[in-house]
């Protein structure tokens, strides 16, 4: 996670088991070059939960008290190219690391965190309902998939997918570190066509501490799909 101030950008990191991020270092623009320096307090940390660099503050990207109906209306505005208010633009992560083609939102319900996926006015059928059915079938087939639920708001289908990378701890949230398959390939979205399951299998065999269950899960998903 990066927070910017002028020509500087502070890089934040969640360490395992911690509920608050700390500053790992600073990026600084120097003409066409980008320089990175580790923070002294990060390198010399004794209590990793208390480290920080002065003048810096982490502001999480979450907005409370935004109704599902408001989020659906915002998704429709995004589809139409209509600007959003800053509050709703922050709540609706239509250009974030969550990825995917359609707008999504991060919501909290019943003490759990979910990714909310909305139906689109351009859908020829209920895409989110089909995804819900596919996820439930995958679970019944024994695949390790996230719990899902299907909701109705403003007469539109909303798919809630429980986040696997967040766990509650003492009233706050612990983040699980993760990387995407494209990160393992060292590819960006535009180069994704060069990725293959064969190469991914080799990466898993050589880099994972316990590759067998991961390979089994991946092959099972291929067969299911």
Backbone conformation region of residue 208, classed left if phi is above 0, alpha if psi is from -120 to 50, else beta: beta
Q: According to the model, what pLDDT value does residue 84 have?
A: 60
Q: Give 157: exposed, middle or buried? Use CB within 10 Å, 0-12, 13-18, 19+.
A: buried
Q: What's residue 129's pLDDT?
A: 93
For residue 165, the 8-state DSSP code is: S
**pLDDT tens across the length of the chain (225 residues):** 555 555 788 888 888 778 888 888 888 888 788 888 888 778 777 644 444 444 755 555 554 556 667 777 766 776 677 766 665 565 555 444 555 556 677 777 778 888 888 877 778 888 899 999 999 999 999 999 999 999 887 677 889 899 888 888 888 888 888 888 889 999 888 888 899 999 999 999 999 999 999 999 999 999 998
For the whole model, what pTM was predicted?
0.66
- Helix, strand or coil for residue 30? strand
pLDDT attached to residue 64: 53
For 68, phi and psi rounded to 5 degrees?
Answer: -65, -35
Per-domain residue ranges of the chain: 2-43, 68-166, 179-224
Instruction: Quickly count helices (H) and strands (E) in the chain.
Output: 7, 10
Cα angle for residues 20, 53, 60 (degrees, 5° grid): 35
Residue 138 CA, chain-centre distance (Å), reads 21
| CA dist., res. 225 & res. 222, Å (int) | 5
pLDDT of residue 108: 78
CA 9 to chain centre: 20
* Domain 68-166 bears CATH identifier 3.30.200.120: yes
State how far the Cα of 99 lies from the Cα of 62, in Å rounded to an integer: 17
């Amino acid at each position: 996670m990066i927070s910017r101030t002028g020509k500087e950008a502070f890089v934040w990191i969640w360490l395992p088991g911690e509920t608050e991020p700390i500053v790992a270092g600073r990026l600084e623009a120097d003409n066409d070059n980008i320089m990175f320096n580790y923070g002294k307090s990060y390198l010399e940390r004794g209590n990793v939960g208390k480290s920080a660099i002065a003048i810096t503050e982490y502001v999480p990207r979450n907005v409370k008290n935004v109704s599902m109906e408001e989020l659906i209306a915002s998704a429709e505005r995004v589809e139409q190219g209509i600007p959003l208010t800053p509050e709703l633009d922050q709540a609706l992560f239509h250009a974030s690391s969550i990825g995917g083609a359609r707008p999504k939102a991060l919501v909290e319900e019943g003490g759990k965190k979910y990714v909310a996926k909305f139906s689109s006015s351009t859908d020829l059928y209920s895409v989110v309902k089909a995804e819900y059915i596919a996820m439930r079938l995958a679970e019944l087939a024994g695949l390790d998939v996230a719990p899902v639920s299907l909701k109705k708001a403003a007469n539109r289908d909303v798919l809630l997918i429980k986040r696997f990378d967040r766990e509650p701890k003492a009233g706050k949230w612990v983040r699980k570190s993760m990387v995407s398959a494209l990160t393992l390939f060292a590819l960006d979205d535009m180069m994704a066509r060069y990725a293959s399951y064969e190469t991914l299998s080799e990466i898993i065999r050589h880099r994972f501490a316990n590759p067998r269950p991961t390979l089994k899960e991946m092959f099972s998903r291929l067969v299911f799909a």
